Amino acid sequence: MSKKFEELNITPELLRAIKEMGYEEATPIQEQTIPLIKAGKDVIGQSGTGSGKTAAFGLPMLEKIERGKGIQALILVPTRELAEQVSKELIKFSKYSLRHILPVYGGVGIERQINELRRAEIVVGTPGRILDHIERRTIDFSKIKILILDEADKMFEMGFSDDVRDIIRQTPQFRQTLLFSATISTDVIDISDRYMKEPEVIRVEVYVEKSMLKQSYYNVSTRDKFSLLVHLIQNDKPKLAIIFCATRQRVDIVAKNLERQGINAEPIHGGLTQSRRNKIMEEFHAGKIHVLVASDVAARGLDIKNVTHIFNYDIPKTDKEYLHRIGRTARAGETGKAISLLAEQDYDNFRSVQRNRDIDIEKLEAPQFQRLPFDLGRRPSFGGESRGFHGHRGLSSGFRGHSDSRQGSHSRFGGSRPRQGSWSRR
């Protein structure tokens, strides 16, 4: 049985705040790491999204921070969204202990951050913008007590390995270092060997509860993929759904076409302004938006509760990315669905996912659905200004077979197989 937070000797101010947030019992990662962090140990915590790791490192960290004594804690995260999310959680935790917590990331003006850094006690930042401040000499790490690397494996996958090492070298040698990661990669091991002092390693089992999460896929032609998606959304009426697409362009196009079908959907990817992304996430958390169309990069680290459906409009390249996507539903005893729409250009990626024998995805026969127009939008790769539609109205029974043919890989959606999206330094 899980321990209650009172049993973990959390200070009364923090305890009062988390009880108001509805937290009574600690999750496994919290129960195992909080006592170690309170004792000053370096800790490596292996756990996935939604395991409660922000409270696991955040609550004992907040106990160690003194008001008005400069920046005493630095939390490095891979994305802007995660910086905002972690900051908001810490602000809620510190409601009655009042700590100055500042998110620091690119894509917004730096001057305001420079002014706020003079008063900050805890900084939650992305590597690129933290390095900008180091180069400008606008951030002071001389009083850092605790350094936290959150979603470390994702930071390294995104190419921030050298940046993270450069930042660590700017912090005091005598500090407490905490590292949280879904996987223990070679980069994670190297960071541990070089920069941590005899860390305690806590592993929390990361798995998909098969009885609560139904995983399925449909074979469908490329031109019918959107029509089937609309049919499934209209049939299931998900409370909250996330649709994953391979590129920013695909995210925008799918979201716009869903809106044209009367489905309340919004896109989220790295090409949107930060204020727009924040507004979309606030509305999604509040249930004002029921469908989020997302790129993998933008969605990394987002902890969104009560998601009932995950749709893979494009199949991810690896089983890890697939598990990361579907792990956002069927939480806390709730049921969920993970539905993949499989067209010819997705076959290679789907085979990579299926190599993991623990992933059991049921093939379903496509139902009859109305074939809908699909506006491809602007086609900048061809230099054209015209807008086009594909498909026609009528009923389609869906694509019934699974062919391994490599012919016809030039699809009508965007003109070719999905391209890798480019992404900027954060």
Do residues 181 and 232 both lie within one domain?
no
Confidence band for 300, pLDDT divided at 50, 70 and 90: low
Mean pLDDT to the nearest integer, 41-49: 87
Nearest CA-CA partner of 55 in 95, 1, 5, 2: 5
Q: pLDDT at position 276, please?
A: 84
Using the structure block, give the residue that is written with the tokens 């929390």.
204
pTM: 0.63
Residue 422 lies in a domain: no
CB-CB neighbours of 368 under 10 Å: 9
The segment with the largest mean pLDDT, out of 170-179, 315-324, 327-336, 381-390, is: 170-179
263 near 233, Cβ under 8 Å? Answer: yes
More confident residue, 184 or 310: 310
Confidence band for 301, pLDDT divided at 50, 70 and 90: low
Do residues 338 and 269 both lie within one domain?
yes
Q: Has residue 49 got a pLDDT over 80?
A: no
Do residues 63 and 146 both lie within one domain?
yes
Do residues 310 and 356 both lie within one domain?
yes
Q: pLDDT at position 333, please?
A: 59
Query: What would the pLDDT profile of 238-289 be if each residue is shown by its tens digit?
Result: 988 999 999 999 999 999 999 999 999 999 887 888 778 878 888 887 888 8
Contacts 24+ apart (CB under 8 A), 111-119: 113/138, 114/138, 117/71
Q: pLDDT at position 50, please?
A: 66
Using the structure block, give the residue that is written with the tokens 């909250």.
240
Q: Has residue 422 got a pLDDT over 70?
A: no
Domain of 320, CATH number, reads: 3.40.50.300
Structural domain count, the chain: 2
Domain hosting 158: range is 5-203
Give the torsion sign (CA, 354, 358, 359, 360). positive
Looking only at the bridges linking them, the beta strands covering 369-370 and 395-396 are: antiparallel
Tokens of 307: 């998601």
Last residue of a domain, one of 203, 228, 252: 203
The whole-angstrom separation of Cα 62 and Cα 99 is 8
- With pLDDT > 90 as the criterion, what percentage of the chain qualifies? 57
Do residues 187 and 221 both lie within one domain?
no
Do residues 174 and 227 both lie within one domain?
no
Mean pLDDT to the nearest integer, 73-94: 94
CB-CB neighbours of 162 under 10 Å: 11
| CB-based burial label for 254 (10 Å; 0-12, 13-18, 19+) | buried
